[in-house]
């Protein structure tokens, strides 16, 4: 006799969690591409790359807020919420480190 493993639930994935994950991926990719492009230029900073990192930092903060708000919802699946929070924290730390290194010349 095979036992079928059906799980009936009314949980759903929060839309804010999905948006948080998308913003985290975009911000991390933008920061990574800006660092790679700066490396290709011999470490020379440019205003375009600085604005890209600043915009990615704003995306990370917005995604972090969305991820926390979606994590506070009851009876939801939290995979995308947790992933979005993780990716956005990574983006905030990376952008903050780049700004810190630019100010203090590391």
Please state the three-class secondary structure of the chain as a single string.
Answer: CCCCCCCCCCCECCHHHHHHHHHHHHHHHHHHHHHHHHHHCCCCCCHHHHHHHHHHHHHHHHHHHHHHHHHCCCCECCHHHHHHHHHHHHHHHHHHHHHHHHHHCC
Mean pLDDT for the stretch of residues 87-91: 96
More confident residue, 2 or 75: 75
pLDDT tens-digit readout, 18-55: 999 999 999 999 999 999 999 998 887 788 988 999 99
Q: Is residue 5 part of a domain?
A: no
Q: Is residue 36 part of a domain?
A: yes
Q: Is residue 46 part of a domain?
A: yes
Domain of residue 23 covers 15-104
Question: pLDDT-derived band of residue 63, with 50, 70 and 90 as boundaries?
Answer: very high
Q: Is residue 3 part of a domain?
A: no
Q: Over pLDDT 90: what percentage of the chain?
A: 62
Domain count, the chain: 1
More confident residue, 25 or 13: 25
């Amino acid at each position: 006799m095979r036992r079928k493993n059906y799980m009936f639930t009314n949980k759903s994935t929060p839309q804010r969690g999905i948006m948080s994950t998308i913003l985290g991926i975009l911000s991390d990719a933008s920061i990574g591409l800006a660092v790679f492009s700066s490396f290709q230029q011999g470490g020379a900073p440019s205003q375009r790359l600085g604005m890209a990192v600043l915009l990615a930092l704003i995306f990370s903060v917005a995604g972090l807020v969305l991820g926390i708000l979606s994590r506070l919802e009851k009876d939801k699946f939290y995979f995308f919420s947790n992933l979005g929070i993780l990716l956005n924290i990574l983006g905030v730390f990376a952008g903050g480190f780049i700004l810190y290194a630019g100010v203090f010349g590391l």
